[in-house]
Amino acid sequence: MAEYKVKFEVFEGPLDLLLYLIKKEEVDIYQVNLTRLAGQFIEYIETMRLLDLEVAGEFLVMAATLMYIKSRELLPVDQQAQAQDDDDGEDPRWELIRQLVEYKKFKDAAAQLEALEERQQNVFPRAPARLEFDSETPARSEASIFDLVSAVNTVLQRFGKRPEQRDIFEDKWTVSEKIQLLLQALAQKPLMKFSELFAGASSRSEVVATFLALLELIRLKHLAAIQDEPFGEIVICRVDKPPAEAAARTPDTAPSPAPPPPGTGDQPSPAGAQPNTSST
Amino acid sequence: MELKLILEAVLFSAQKALSLKEIRDVFAGAPEHAEGDETARRLKKPKEDELVAALEDLAREHEQAGRSFRLACVAGSWQFVTQPEYSPWLKALVGHKARPPRLSQPALETLAIIAYRQPVTRAEVEQVRGVAVDGVMQTLLERGLIEQAGRAEVVGRPMTYGTTPVFLEYFGLRSLEDLPAADELRRVAVQKPEGLATVDPGLATAPPEQLTLPAEGTKPEGQPQ
């Protein structure tokens, strides 16, 4: 019935609610009027139900305990004392107060732990060597599938909207052929810009075939798609040679003209430049 | 040369927190590198209590000097760390610490109960908190702050839980003895106040003068269950 339920966040459990009510009354836990507290507690549960908030089973157990305590108070004094004797010996009021006091202490301890947690987060050790290492890792982050799809979408815009009329023709390119071509291309160059992959493509189906080939090779961990900054140019490289290493090696193999580093915006590749100017 | 100052030099240049064992290894290896230095040979095998005393002395000295850093002992390992108030500049220097998100209130409460009461069963934790703790326990286990400690000798032999060294590191504690108000909370000693049993009908609890806080240091007859 009630599928849409809001979790009552303020109070984690019935003990939290009781402590809140006691705090509101501004009395010591040991001096609290449990009968009045029982009334307020049940009032709260009613309100929570009215608001269609999920009332956890623990709250109902607590309500029952409180009602039991309240009902015992109604008995004459002599019978009260008797009831306590043949009970299991534990006064339910005392039991509840003991539980509240205990919980309150742990709540306070949790607050102290929280303070320690905060302090410790601001404490720095003598040699933050590991942290430097940590900050290096995100620099060479792999592009997500969403980055790749959005990049291929940019490439596809080059071919304009799907034509209303379509000729049916045989697919000239298969994914497996493109896999071979991609592996060949990247065997010669250590890394390629994403847009370069599609520079020679002449149709949508060819772009799609190349893209599927790329995804397959990434899945097989032959290639990796690296994006150094969010929404930046995606670079494809072989997995056995991470781009940092590959970039460092490029000057060795071809010392005279240093290739432009990937990601510099002033030298857009032909495939990337055209859709931006024509389609928008 | 004083033991304390040697420790200071070692910890100053150490790349990580050093345990007592690692410190003793340093002392054991020193004579090889000290050509004829009598001190290195003399201090080849420092006694553990002497080491701890020297380390504590050194920590106190740094504390009193009011420097921006102090010698901290976390989970039994010693290290120089900065004081928390200088964190803005250190964050700018080394970047944010790669730390998991802060713990939620229920997680902190559950962790507090486990820390003070360990080894403790899930049921005992739930009894104190008054709510189910399955999800929270799972989070704490995944973050390595608690671990299974054994089984309780009661019906069903339920799993018991305790805190890990990661817990101490996370909160910057030297040991479990270092927990705030540890002796008070470990086994909560609350005594049933006198006079609670007799109250006037209609009055929920005994009048204030009949209810007294348990006197400090009183021991309970048995563990509250």
Dihedral-angle region of residue A54 (phi above 0 means left; psi in -120 to 50 means alpha; beta otherwise): beta
**Residue A84: closest CA among chain B residues belongs to which residue?**
B197
d(CA A69, CA A63): 10
A109 part of contact set with chain B, CB < 8 Å:
yes
User: Of A106, A103, A109, A93, whose CA–CA distance to A30 is shortest?
Assistant: A93
Going by the DSSP 8-state scheme, the letter that residue B135 receives in this structure is H
The whole-number pLDDT of residue B39 equals: 83
- Check pLDDT > 90 for residue B160: yes
Which has more pLDDT, B63 or A80? B63
For residue B213, pLDDT beyond 70: no
The pLDDT-based confidence of B182 (bands split at 50, 70, 90) is low
What is residue A175's predicted lDDT score, i.e. its pLDDT? 85
B-proximal residues of A, 76-95, CB under 8 Å: 76-77, 80-81, 84, 91, 93-94
What is the pLDDT confidence band of residue B2, given thresholds at 50, 70 and 90? confident
- With an 8 Å Cβ cutoff, are B81 and A124 in contact? yes
Question: Per-residue b/e over A90-115, b at no fewer than 16 CB within 10 Å?
Answer: ebebeebbbbbbbbbbbbebbeebbe
Asked if the C-beta of A10 comes within 8 angstroms of chain B's C-beta atoms, the answer is: no
Query: A121 — contact with chain B (CB < 8 Å)?
Result: yes
Q: DSSP letter string over B95-125?
A: -----PPPPPHHHHHHHHHHHHH-SEEHHHH
Which residues, listed in sequence order, are joined to residue B143 by a DSSP beta bridge? none
Q: What is the CA radius of gyration of chain B?
A: 24
Residue B186 banded pLDDT, cuts 50, 70, 90 = low
Does the bond joining B100 to the residue before it have cis omega, within 30 degrees of 0?
Answer: no
Cβ neighbours of B134 (radius 10 Å):
9
- Considering only CB atoms, A98 lies closest to which of B17, B198, B224, namely B224
Check residue B195 and give its pLDDT.
Answer: 43
Give the angle subtended at the CA of B34 by the CAs of B29 and B35, to the nearest 5°: 135
Q: Do A120 and B172 touch (CB under 8 A)?
A: yes
Where is pLDDT greater, at B96 or B87?
B87
Number of H helices, E strands in chain B: 10, 6
Answer yes or no: are the C-beta atoms of B18 and B79 closer than 8 Å. Answer: yes
pLDDT digits (tens, 9 = 90+) for B55-87: 999 999 999 998 999 999 988 899 999 998 988
CA angle centred on A241, ends A236 and A247, rounded to 5°:
75
Mean pLDDT, rounded, for B97-124: 86
Q: Is the ipTM of this complex over 0.85?
A: no
Which of B69, B102, B184 shows the shortest C-beta gap to A117?
B102
Q: Per the CB < 8 Å rule, is B131 touching A110?
A: no
Res. B114: pLDDT tops 90: yes
Which pair of structure tokens corresponds to residue A166?
């379509």
Residue A49 has pLDDT above 50, yes or no: yes
Query: Is A93's CB within 8 Å of B173's CB?
Result: no
Distance, first Cα to last Cα, chain B: 56
